[in-house]
Structure 1
Amino acid sequence: MAVVGIIANPASGKDIRRLVAHATVCDNMEKVNMVRRILLALQATGVERVLIMPDYFGIGTRALDGLTGPFRLNLTVEFLSMNITGTQEDSLRAAGILKDKVDCLITLGGDGTNRLVAKGCDEVPILPVSTGTNNVFPTMLEGTVAGLAAGFIATNRVLPEEGLARHKKLEVYIDGVFTDIALVDVVVLNEQFIGSRAIWDVDKIKHIYATRGELKNIGIVSVVGALQPVQAMDPYGMYVEIGQGGPCVMAALGPGLLVQVPVKSFARLEPMQRMAVSGTPFVIALDGEREISVRSGADVEINLNPAGPRVVDVPKTLARAAAQGLMRL
Structure 2
Amino acid sequence: MGHVGIIANPASGKDIRRLVAYGTVVDNLEKVNIVRRLILSLAATGITKITYMPEYYGIVQGAVESICSRHRPDMEFAAADICMTGTQIDSFHAADFMAQCGVNCIITLGGDGTNRMVAKGCRDVPILPVSTGTNNVFPTLVEGTIAGLAAAVVAKGLIAGPPAINPSKKLNIYKNGQLVDIAIVDAVVLNEPFIGSRAIWDAARIRRIVVTRGEPHNIGISSIAGNLAPVRPGEPRGADIEVGTGSIQLRAPIAPGLIERVPVRNYGYIEIGQVIEVNEACVIALDGEREVEIREGEKAQIELTFDGPKVIDAEAALRAAVAQGYSYINTN
Alignment of 1:212-223 (within 5 A): 212-223=213-224
Q: Separation in 1 of the partners of 2:163 and 2:14?
A: 35
Equivalent position SS for 1:237: strand
Alignment of 1:94-243 (within 5 A): 94-100=94-100, 101-161=102-162, 163-243=164-244
Q: Distance in 2 between matches of 1:104 and 1:82?
A: 18
Q: Which runs of 5+ in 2 are unaligned?
A: none
- Distance in 1, matches of 2:96 and 2:82, equals 11
Letter in 1 for 2:277: A
The correspondence of residues 79-94 of structure 1 with structure 2, limited to 5 A, is 79-94=79-94
Deviations 1:156-209 (A, max 9, x none): 112234520000000011111111100000000000111111101011000000
For 1:2, give the aligned amino acid. G
Whether the 8 Å contact between 1:165 and 1:313 is mirrored in structure 2 is yes
CA distance in 2, matches of 1:225, 1:160: 27
1:110 offset after TM fit, Å? 0.4
Distance in structure 1 (CA, Å) of the matches to 2:18 and 2:153: 36
SS in 1 for 2:266: strand
Stretches (4+) displaced over 6 A: none
Q: Give deviations 1:250-278, integer Å, cap 9, x for gaps.
A: 10011110011110000111111212113
Encode CA deviations 1:101-154: one digit per residue, 9 max, x unaligned: 200000000000000000011110000001100000000111001101111000
Measure how far apart 1:67 and its partner are. Answer: 1.4
> 2:314 maps to what in 1?
314
Q: Counterparts of 1:74 and 1:311 in 2: how far apart (Å)?
A: 28
Query: What is the aligned partner in structure 1 of residue 247 from structure 2?
Result: 246
Kindly provide the CA deviation profile for residues 285-308 of structure 1, in whole angstroms up to 9, marking residues without a partner as x: 000000111111111111000111
**TM-score when scaled to structure 2?**
0.97
Partner Cα distance (2:235, 2:261) in 1: 26
3-state SS in 2 of match to 1:247: strand
CA distance in 1, matches of 2:197, 2:327: 47
Which amino acid counterpart does residue 292 of structure 1 have in structure 2? V
Indicate the larger mover: 226-235 or 72-81. Answer: 72-81
User: SS at the partner of 2:304?
Assistant: strand
AA of the residue aligned to 2:144 = G
8 A contact 1:2–1:47 mirrored in 2: yes
The separation in 2 between residues aligned to 1:4 and 1:12, in whole angstroms, is 21
The structural deviation recorded for 1:83 is: 2.3
Q: CA deviation at 1:63?
A: 0.7
Equivalent residue letter for 2:87 = T
CA distance in 1, matches of 2:324, 2:209: 43
TM-score, normalisation: structure 1: 0.98
1:244 Cα deviation after fit: 1.2
Unaligned runs of 5+ in 1: none
Taking the aligned partners of 1:70 and 1:4, their CA distance within structure 2 comes to 23
1:31 matched residue in structure 2: 31
Q: Separation in 1 of the partners of 2:301 and 2:55?
A: 35
Distance in 2 (alpha carbons) for counterparts of 1:216 and 1:241: 21
Q: Are 2:229 and 2:268, in contact at CA under 8 Å, matched by a contact in 1?
A: no
Q: How many residues align?
A: 328
Change in 2 beyond 3 A, CA 1:259/1:161: closer
Q: Secondary structure at the match of 1:156?
A: coil
- Assess if the C-alpha contact under 8 Å between 1:172 and 1:179 holds in 2: yes
Checking the alignment, whether the CA contact within 8 Å between 2:225 and 2:239 is kept in structure 1 is: yes
Contact 2:229 2:269 in 1 (8 A): no
Secondary structure, in 3 states, of the residue corresponding to 2:97? helix
> 3-state SS of the aligned residue for 1:264?
strand
* CA distance in structure 2 between the partners assigned to 1:190 and 1:21 by the alignment: 21
What is the aligned-residue RMSD (CA, Å)?
A: 1.0
> How far apart, CA to CA, are the structure 2 residues paired with 1:117 and 1:292?
18
1:59 maps to 59
* Paired residue type of 1:5: G
Partner of 1:299: 299
3-state DSSP class of the match of 1:99? helix
Report the Cα distance in structure 1 between the residues aligned to 2:161 and 2:244, rounded to whole angstroms. Answer: 43
Question: Partner of 1:68 in structure 2?
Answer: 68
- Secondary structure of the structure 1 residue equivalent to 2:269: strand
**Are the aligned partners of 1:283 and 1:292 in contact in 2 as well (CA < 8 Å)?**
yes
